């Protein structure tokens, strides 16, 4: 087993995982600590170390709101359970699980970006244990990155100091870590020429950002986007994703410096990190990816549609009950006005599909509601063919029954327990059908990471249900319910209408 390896900065020692055929390395630094002069700066190379670095435990999490203190929050009950977890600005570390017995095995590599709205989250969350995927013959890497004001603040002085990397430091951490993987993963038995990047929620949005950054040619060979592709549908429905300009973000940074009581970048870099964290929580602003025309050159969804992206196979989907978009109207007249503005001469068809003449405005609005992520994926799938790209896109919908006293439904992020096959770490009373589904989902993900095609056999030796790529002629996907089933049900007439009507000019 590869219990000790040499990477570019020195020797690293790992430990046997729960399955001793897997070696885990936790807390490997991939960049210099982003403190002092490195605060609000692109990640910098790590200095070499002497001796052997014992990578036996997870590094501190990024600066963020204290996890685990609000039991009314489903995520604090689900996995952000430890309010005493170590937290530090010195957070640029990654973790590796490998089944390799030697460094020459050239195993496929999976690099994971966690979610949390770019405000919270960490790779040591219990659902992100990479052992089960590693047991399927791959090297799994989970990376940490800077969040919130530490990862995404902008300011005119920062831009002046580093015009080629003025913003998006959290995204640059992801990029830097993935580049570290390309340079070093062969030491762990991985293949630097077969890397899949994946993420969920803001981690999935980060995958989309990486795919559409002009800086990333050759970064990966496959990509997985879980609940992370969005585009606006109805007016006044807020959607995540890069939209702010650098100038607007810089203005917000000036206001935040005023709130901190400092007048320069030099002064702000001397402040204690805990003070900044506390003040940022008081300030209550969203800090995220901005269009800096360096790393991010536009709205990542629009860039994806225009094939200004890495042309690699993508596995993409959502849970069945998350992020529904519905008209933000109070009366039938308001709905009519919205329909005319959005659809012009086709407004009457939209109203017919919503059964406008039947029921109250509340009922009509509910009939008009559709999954915003499903909508975005179907638009992307159509553009993939219409533009002649025809790069495989595999679509899924996670619709399993989720047990628990809170009757949560398929809430945002619950599929993470399944695809990482870490159900045993959860408090929920999962039973045999859930474990079977998790095994099969993990199989599909592993196959895709290996080859860009999710299809293959179960450990039983049986072929799993065939999963075909999404096309407008066959707009189908895999539904993960009690068991995987490739559904051939057409999208609703309303969804088909909305996808056909999509135009960036209307957004």
Q: Residues 408-435: pLDDT tens digits?
A: 999 999 999 999 999 999 999 999 999 9
The residue whose two tokens read 């659809």 is 343
Among residues 409, 218, 408, the alpha carbon closest in space to that of 210 is found at 218
CA distance 39 to 17: 34
Q: Over pLDDT 70: what percentage of the chain?
A: 98
The residue whose two tokens read 């203005």 is 251
Looking at the predicted structure, is the pLDDT value of residue 67 above 50?
yes
Looking at the predicted structure, is the pLDDT value of residue 153 above 80?
yes
**Where are the domain boundaries for CATH 3.40.50.1820 in the chain?**
4-323+372-506
* pTM of structure: 0.97
Q: Quickly state the pLDDT bin for 478 (edges 50, 70, 90).
A: very high
Looking at the predicted structure, is the pLDDT value of residue 275 above 70?
yes
CA distance 244 to 299: 9
Q: Quickly state the pLDDT bin for 503 (edges 50, 70, 90).
A: low
**Residue 244 pLDDT:** 87
Q: Which residues participate in catalysis according to the annotation?
A: 201
CA distance 227 to 206: 11
SS3 420: coil
- 3-state SS of 287-321 is CCCCECCCCCCCCHHHHHHCCCCCCCCEEEEEECC
Q: Quickly state the pLDDT bin for 342 (edges 50, 70, 90).
A: very high
**Residue 106 pLDDT:** 98
Radius of gyration from C-alpha coordinates of the chain? 23
Retrieve residue 337's tokens: 């006005």
CA distance 465 to 434: 17
CA distance 127 to 138: 18
* Average pLDDT of the segment spanning 384-410: 96
Average pLDDT, the chain: 96
**70-79, 82-91, 268-277, 492-501: least confident range:** 70-79
**108-117, 180-189, 442-451, 482-491: least confident range:** 482-491
Retrieve residue 79's tokens: 């996995």
- CATH superfamily for domain 4-323+372-506: Alpha/Beta hydrolase fold, catalytic domain (3.40.50.1820)
**Residue 242 pLDDT:** 63
Q: Quickly state the pLDDT bin for 353 (edges 50, 70, 90).
A: very high
Phi then psi for 479, rounded to 5 degrees?
-105, 125
Q: Quickly state the pLDDT bin for 237 (edges 50, 70, 90).
A: confident
Quick: pLDDT tens for 154-180: 999 999 999 999 999 999 999 999 999
């Amino acid at each position: 087993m590869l219990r000790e390896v040499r990477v570019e900065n020195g020797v690293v020692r790992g430990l046997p995982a729960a399955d001793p055929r897997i070696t885990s390395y936790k807390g490997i630094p991939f960049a210099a600590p982003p403190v002092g002069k490195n605060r609000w700066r692109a990640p910098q190379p790590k200095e070499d170390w002497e001796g052997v670095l014992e990578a036996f435990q997870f590094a501190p999490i990024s600066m963020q709101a204290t996890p685990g203190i609000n039991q009314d929050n489903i995520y604090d009950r689900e996995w952000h359970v430890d309010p005493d977890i170590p937290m530090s600005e010195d957070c640029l570390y990654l973790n590796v699980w490998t089944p390799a017995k030697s460094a020459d095995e050239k195993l496929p590599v999976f690099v994971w970006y966690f979610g949390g709205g770019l405000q919270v989250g960490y790779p040591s969350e219990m659902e992100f244990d990479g052992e089960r995927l590693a047991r399927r013959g791959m090297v799994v890497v989970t990376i940490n990155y800077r969040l919130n004001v530490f990862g995404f603040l902008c300011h005119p002085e920062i831009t002046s100091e580093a015009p080629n990397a003025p913003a998006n430091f959290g995204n640059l951490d992801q990029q830097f870590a993935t580049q570290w993987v390309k340079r070093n993963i062969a030491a762990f038995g991985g293949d630097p020429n077969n890397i899949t990047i994946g993420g969920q929620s803001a981690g999935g949005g980060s995958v989309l950002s990486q795919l559409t950054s002009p800086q990333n040619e050759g970064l990966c060979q496959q990509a997985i986007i879980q609940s992370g592709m969005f585009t606006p549908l109805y007016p006044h429905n807020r959607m995540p994703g890069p939209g702010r300009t650098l100038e607007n973000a810089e203005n917000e940074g000036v206001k935040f410096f005023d709130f901190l009581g400092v007048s320069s970048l030099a002064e702000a870099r001397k402040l204690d990190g805990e003070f900044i964290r506390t003040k940022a929580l008081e300030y209550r602003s969203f800090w995220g990816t901005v269009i800096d025309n360096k790393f991010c050159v536009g709205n990542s969804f629009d860039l994806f549609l225009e094939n200004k992206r890495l042309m690699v196979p993508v596995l993409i989907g959502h849970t069945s009950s998350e992020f529904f978009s519905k008209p933000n109207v109070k009366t039938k007249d308001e709905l009519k006005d919205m329909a005319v503005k959005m659809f012009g001469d086709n407004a009457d068809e939209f109203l017919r599909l919503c059964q406008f003449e039947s029921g109250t405005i509340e009922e009509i609005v509910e009939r008009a509601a559709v999954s915003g992520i499903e909508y975005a994926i179907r638009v992307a799938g159509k553009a993939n063919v219409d533009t002649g790209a025809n790069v495989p896109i595999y679509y899924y919908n996670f619709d399993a029954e989720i047990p628990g006293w809170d009757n949560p439904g398929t809430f945002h992020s619950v599929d993470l327990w399944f695809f990482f096959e870490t159900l045993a770490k959860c408090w929920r009373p999962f039973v045999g059908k859930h474990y079977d589904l998790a095994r099969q989902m993990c199989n599909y993900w592993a196959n895709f990471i290996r080859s860009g095609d999710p299809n293959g056999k179960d450990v039983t030796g049986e072929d799993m249900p065939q999963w075909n790529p999404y096309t407008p002629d066959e707009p189908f996907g895999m539904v993960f319910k009690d068991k995987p089933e490739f559904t051939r049900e057409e999208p609703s007439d309303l969804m088909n209408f909305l996808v056909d009507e999509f135009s960036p000019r209307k957004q």
